[in-house]
Amino acid sequence: MPNIDPLQSSLYFSATAAAQTAAGANAGTANRKTVSAKKSRFSNMIERQESELALAEAGFPPEIAEMDFEEAFVYLKDRADIAADRVKAELSTDSFTEYRQAVSHFMKFIVRSNYDIEIHKRRRPNRKFNTNKFYLIQVIDQKLDTLAAEILLNHSETLRILAGIDEINGILVDLIT
């Protein structure tokens, strides 16, 4: 009785099986490439939307969402300068609130873009098998930090006026209550 060849050892079946696996592998990588490209475009769009939403929630003007970092920095600085000049020209509640808002937006932008938080975990758990998290705040760009300090020094006169106005408003609130 002659030996019967199993299906894998037959030349015909092994060649077709190898061709099918190679075709499936090539098609799978092509599909994965297009899916990852679509995914990256989609994820980029989602990241952009999330950053715009975060800026809007922080109270920043909507114009900043479309600007890059340097343009947004200059825009907020100019906005604070214009508001400071308006406060110097006329001391009204509108100019005061505008200046206060412009300076707070500028400072929030500096803090938001200038500091980064890194989380470091302990390699070994303590006796209770908890891994403690250590937070390290790093200054990313020291030049930007010094520039923000210089800008605030330029506005020190206006800030002194505003501090006096705030103090007077606080006294008035105390008198009312």
Handedness of CA 27, 28, 29, 35 (dihedral sign): positive
Q: Against a cut of 0.95, is the pTM above it?
A: no
Work out how many domains the chain is built from and give that number. 2
Question: Could you read off the pLDDT of 10-63 as tens digits, one per residue?
Answer: 544 555 566 666 666 665 555 555 555 556 788 877 877 887 777 777 777 777
Confidence of residue 8 (pLDDT cuts 50, 70, 90): very low
Whether 104 maps to a domain, the answer reads: yes
Which range (44-58, 81-95, 97-111, 136-150) has the least confidence? 136-150
User: What tokens appear for 120 in the block?
Assistant: 């470091």
Q: Are residues 21 and 42 in the same domain?
A: yes
Mean pLDDT along residues 127-138: 59
Look up the domain containing 107 and give its range: 61-113+139-177
Whether 128 maps to a domain, the answer reads: no
CATH number for the domain harbouring residue 87 = 1.20.120
CA distance 160 to 42: 48
